[in-house]
Structure 1
């Protein structure tokens, strides 16, 4: 499957489709622990679960990202010697500061890594960083999980 070049845009909320706005509401309810499940949150804002899953990893509140300058990235990696150090080298070369790292025990030669980074001194755009990370031969998938604190 060919990887798309991702680009990020700043869009006023009044032009966003209603399902994207509601996805942000669901994410906020979950983040603030106002609900105990995705099912409860989507029901509360009148959004289908499928719409939430479609948009949850693609729409983020701009204020949180700008204010905190922190993003959390999820990686699905092949388990090879040096993968984590190579990943961290790319992040450091982009001017990011690593705040947290969580790696699962590899199963069937694959591992999940979650990385929270401070981007306040980042020397490139986030989409450029993601493209560099996706080009690493051991990276199967990389996604932005969240932005903000």
Structure 2
């Protein structure tokens, strides 16, 4: 059966460098660090043809998430106050929590699934995920789905 997926989530470290440079050039253009495509591609060290070939096919995960729900899976220590810290982090980025599911902790570790609505006022989703990952007591954060 042929693969029907149109989108994949892949970790940054697995991407070829050209894709990362295309994203960087797009950011330069958006933030007006470069006024033209030529200036942007020269700044990041790729050709115009590479930029045009990939510009509509690669974008940061969070860029296409506004107004959508994302599901995060987390493995955390079973410690008082840790869930509250995570909820406060999500609130700090002004994302709307739709659902929370936590398993019964086994050996002091619980699995949690958050469904989060990304609103127009939500801050940088990648920064939010990074903040969650860096929280003491959090072992793992995975993006399970985007709706």
Task: Report runs of 4+ in structure 1 exceeding 6 Å deviation.
Answer: none
> Does the 8 Å CA contact 1:96/1:121 hold for their aligned counterparts?
no
Instruction: Determine whether 1:24 maps to 2:22.
Output: no
What is the CA-CA distance between 1:23 and the residue it aligns to? 6.7
SS at match of 1:24: coil
| Alignment coverage as a number of residue pairs | 95
Contact 1:95-1:121 within 8 A present in 2 as well:
no
Distance in 2 (alpha carbons) for counterparts of 1:23 and 1:108: 39
Q: Give how far 1:69 is off.
A: 1.5
Whether contact under 8 Å (2:66, 2:118) holds in the other structure is no
**Deviations 1:109-143 (CA, angstroms, capped at 9, x unpaired):** 00000000111144321111111111101100001
Alpha carbons of structure 1 residues 137 and 66: separation in structure 2 relative to 1, 3 Å: closer
Q: 1:24 to 1:107 in 2, by over 3 A?
A: same
Task: Deviation per CA, 1:74-130: give whole Å up to 9, x if none.
Answer: 000011001111100000110011000000000000000000011114432111111
Alignment of 1:85-100 (within 5 A): 85-100=84-99
Aligned positions of 1:61-140 closer than 5 A: 66=65, 68-140=67-139
Normalising by structure 1, we get a TM-score of: 0.56
In the alignment, the residues of structure 2 paired with residue 139 and residue 119 of structure 1 have an alpha-carbon distance, to the nearest angstrom, of: 22
Task: Please report the RMSD computed on the Cα atoms of aligned residues, expressed in angstroms.
Answer: 2.6
More moved, 75-84 vs 117-126: 117-126
* Long gaps (5+) in structure 2: 12-60
- Give 5+ residue unaligned stretches, structure 1: 1-20, 28-54
CA distance in 2, matches of 1:122, 1:80: 31
